[in-house]
Chain A
Amino acid sequence: MNGIRFFSNHLSKRHDILQTALRFTSTLVLAEHAGDKLNPITLKAVNAASNLGEISVLVAGTNITNVAEQVIAKVEQVKRVFIADHEKLKHQLPEYVAKTVETLQKQCKFDYIVAGASTFGRDVLPRVAAQFDSAPITDIIAIHSSDTFTRPIYAGNALCKVKTNAPVKFLTFRGTAFKSAKESGGNGKIEKAPESDFSFDGVEFLSEDLLKSERPDLQSAKVIVSGGRGVGSADNFKIIYELADKLKAAVGASRAAVDAGYVSNELQIGQTGKVVAPELYIAVGISGAIQHTAGMKDSKIIVAINKDPDAPIFEIADIGLKADLHKAVPELIKAL
C-alpha cells in the first residue's frame, strides 16, 4: 500500500501540470454539513478536486446561509458557492439532493461532480450519475491525470488504476488519502442554486439516532484505540475507553466486536465500516482479518496487542505485543 503515500506526496507537483491542462474545466463539490458545521471530509474533497479545475461548491439544506458564507466560501480554492435552501432538503435525503445537483448540472455543465466517500457522497453521487449516463468512480485514493485515478479493490488488497471516458466524471474521494483544503484564503461568490422540482414523494425522513461522544471523531482522530472479539464483553470494553481517554484517542472496533454487541456499529473499522489512517492505531484483541485491515492498514504506526502470536495483525503491526490484553492494557493505562 506504499502506493497511496507515493501518490499523495506527488500531488503537489502534479497539481501545476494539471492546472495548466484544466484551466477551462469546472468541478462541483457537494458539501456535507450538519447545521453550521462542515464535515471535514468536504475539505478533503475540495483539496482533491483542486487538481481538477475551478471549484464550485453546492450546499443543500435548510438555514445554510451561515455555513455557506462563513465557512465554505472561505475555503481556499473555492470560487463559487451555490446555495439550495428548501424544506425538502432539510435532512439531505439523497433523492432531493440528487435532484438539486441534476438541475444545477443541466444549467452549469460541470466536467466533474465530486464528493467525499462518506455515506452522503456514496448515496447521492451515483444517483445523479445515472441521470447523465455516467459511470462513477468511487473511493479514489490517488489522482494521476484529468481522467485517471487509483482506487482500492478486494478490501484494499489490490489497487486498481482506471481511466474514465464518462461524459461527466462523478468521483468520490477517500478522506484518508487526501489532505484538507485550508479553511481560509478563499473568497467564493455566493449564488442561489436554480429551483428544482421537488414533487417526488417516495421518501420521507423520520428520525435519526446519532452516536454522541466526547471523544474525537473516528475519521479525523490522530490516535485510535480499537477493540475486537478478544476484549470479551461490552463490560470489558471499558478498558479500551480508558486507554483511549489517556491518549485522547477515538475508539474503534472490529466487526466481531460490533456483532457481539460490545459496541455500536458506528465504531466499526474495515472494508464495510469506516476507513481510517491515524498517526497511531492500537489494535487490542483484534486478529487482523483482511476485512478489518482494509480499514486501517494505512495508519502511520500500528500497535497490536494479542495473545495469539500467529494472529495476522502482527504481519502489519509496527509494534506487536504478545500478551493477554486484560493484563497488558491496564498496565499500559497505569504507565501513561
Chain B
Amino acid sequence: MRALVAVKRVIDYAIKIRVKPDKTGVIKENVQHSMNPFDEIALEEAVRLKEKQIVKEVVAVSLGSSKSQETLRTALAKGADRAIHIEVEEATAEKIEPLLVAKILRGIAETEKPDLIFLGKQAIDDDCGQTAQLLAGLLNWPQAMYASVIERESDKTFVVTREVDGGRELIRIKTPAVISADLRLNEPRYATLPNIMKAKNKPLEKKKPSDYGIEIVRQTQILE
C-alpha cells in the first residue's frame, strides 16, 4: 500500500502575524516558517502505518516556492521515503488556492497511484479546510475528514473515527481514500539529527504544475 501525504509550508503557529501596511497580505519575509501542524500529524500517521507494515512507501508532496523543499526535507527526516516538489515562483505561490492544490494532487494521484492520501484538516494560514474534500470530490474517492483514530480492518478497508460537531463518528472506508488529520490523531515525532542527515540523500523530485496540465488561474481574488 502506498501513502501520499500533502504538506504545506506556513508561518509558524507561534508567530504573531502582522498585516502589511498596504493590506495586500501578511508579512512573510524573515518570519519563522514551518510545516503546517495538521500536516505533521497526517505525515506521522502515514509513517506509523509504514512502521506497522501496512504501508510500504510514504511519498510527501508539497506545492510552493523553492523554500518548500525545506518542508519536504523535514518530512523525509520524519520518515517519508521520497518527496515530490511542485515548484512555483514565489509570486505565483501567493495565488494558489485549495482547488488548484487539489487538482495538482489529483494529477499526482493518477501517476503515483496511492491507496491513501493524507492531508491536514486545514492549513493554519488560510484556514480554508477545503483541500482534502475537494480532492476526494475530484477523484470520487471516499473521504474521512477530521480523523482521530485510523485502524486497518482488512486489505482494503479502514475504520476511521472522526471528530464531528456533536462528538465522534465511526465510518468504514474502502481504499483508495482521502483522509484528513485532526489534532488528536497522534503526537508527531521530532526528526533526529541522524535522520535529518539521512534525509539529505533521499530522493526529491521536482515538478511543475504544467506537468499535470494545470495552469495557475485562481477564481478568488484577494482584495484586502
Contacts and interface: CB of A to CB of B under 8 A. Distances in A.
Interface of A: 93-95, 98, 118-120, 122-131, 133-139, 148, 151-155, 157-158, 160-166, 200-211, 255, 258-259, 264-266, 271-272, 274, 290-291
A271 B184 CA distance: 14
Nearest to A128: B137
A135 B159 contact: no
Interface stretch (B63-71, B140-148, B188-196): B140-148
B171 A134 contact: no
B218 A135 contact: yes
Interface stretch (B10-18, B49-57, B85-93): B10-18
Contact of A154 (B26, B129, B174, B224): B26
B127 A271 contact: yes
B134 interface: yes
Given A122-B133, A154-B125, A162 B163 contact: no
A266 B218 CA distance: 35
Contacts of B124: 154-155, 271
A202 B173 contact: yes
9 smallest beta-carbon distances between A and B, as pairs:
A130-B137, A202-B142, A126-B133, A127-B137, A210-B167, A203-B142, A206-B170, A135-B219, A135-B99
Nearest to B224: A161
B166 A211 contact: yes
Range, interface on chain B: 35 or more
B152 to A, nearest CB: 15
Contacts of B142: 95, 200, 202-203
Contact of A206 (B125, B127, B134, B172): B172
Nearest to A154: B17
Contacts of A138: 127-130
A129 B137 contact: yes
Contact of A208 (B136, B148, B169, B218): B169
B147 to A, nearest CB: 12
A126 B167 contact: no
Contacts of A120: 165
Contacts of B81: none
Contact of B222 (A134, A135, A162, A201): A162
Given A119-B165, A129-B99, A162 B172 contact: no
A153 B97 contact: no
A165 to B, nearest CB: 6
Contacts of A160: 222, 224
B102 interface: yes
Contacts of A200: 140, 142
A262 B220 CA distance: 41
Interface in B101-153: 102, 121-122, 124-130, 133-138, 140-146, 148
